[in-house]
Amino acid sequence: MRSLRNLFIGLLLLSLVLLLGWWYGQRSLKTNIETDADVLLEQYRDVAKLVTNEGDFLEIYKYEDYWGVDISPLRKKALIRAKARALVGFDLDQIDVEIREADRMFILSALPSPQILALEINLDYYDLESGTFNSFQAADMNRMESDIRQDLRKKVMESDLLRKADERADLFFKTLRTLGERSGWEIRYRDQLHLKDLP
């Protein structure tokens, strides 16, 4: 009986030594990571955009997901800091320009409304923790990033940036009109509230 117990203890110790050796070997192996990227120019286009305002936003996004009972093996959670820079202004390609050389007049119509021209978002992941039976998948990461983008876009729309861009546009178009008048040309606006309508 005693030899059977000694054999069992010996096998247990041997298994423990092998397990520790395997674990140490896994930790000491260097991970080789190879990456490859090809940048291709798909298309380009000429644009005329006027950026009038820029705003910086910061959001802390908390995500928790658990199955049935909120215990560690069934829960995954993330804390994400999102820094965003919004560029607000006007797409000048939308403006229709009619030139009346005989009257020395530019007639502008379809003046654009202010819009978000670009929204750059940088995400920093903090406390990204998967449960044993509930781990993060690519779809979860994509959904979180999409939610953050939508929320930040909404925050930009609710901010004063669009109103301030409208004020800056008035200044821009008044300056444009003054420059035109100095050159002997008149600039008139057909269909917007900015300045005056044509007779």
Digit-coded pLDDT (tens) for 13-71: 778 777 777 767 666 655 566 777 777 777 778 888 889 999 999 999 988 776 666 67
Distance CA 7, CA 2 (A): 9
Distance CA 118, CA 82 (A): 16
AA letter at 183: S
φ, ψ for residue 30, nearest 5 deg: -85, 140
Distance CA 116, CA 112 (A): 12
Q: Spell out the domain ranges in the chain.
A: 43-189
Q: What is the pLDDT of residue 164?
A: 92
Distance CA 51, CA 38 (A): 31
pTM of the model: 0.67
Pull the structure tokens for residue 49.
Answer: 């955009």
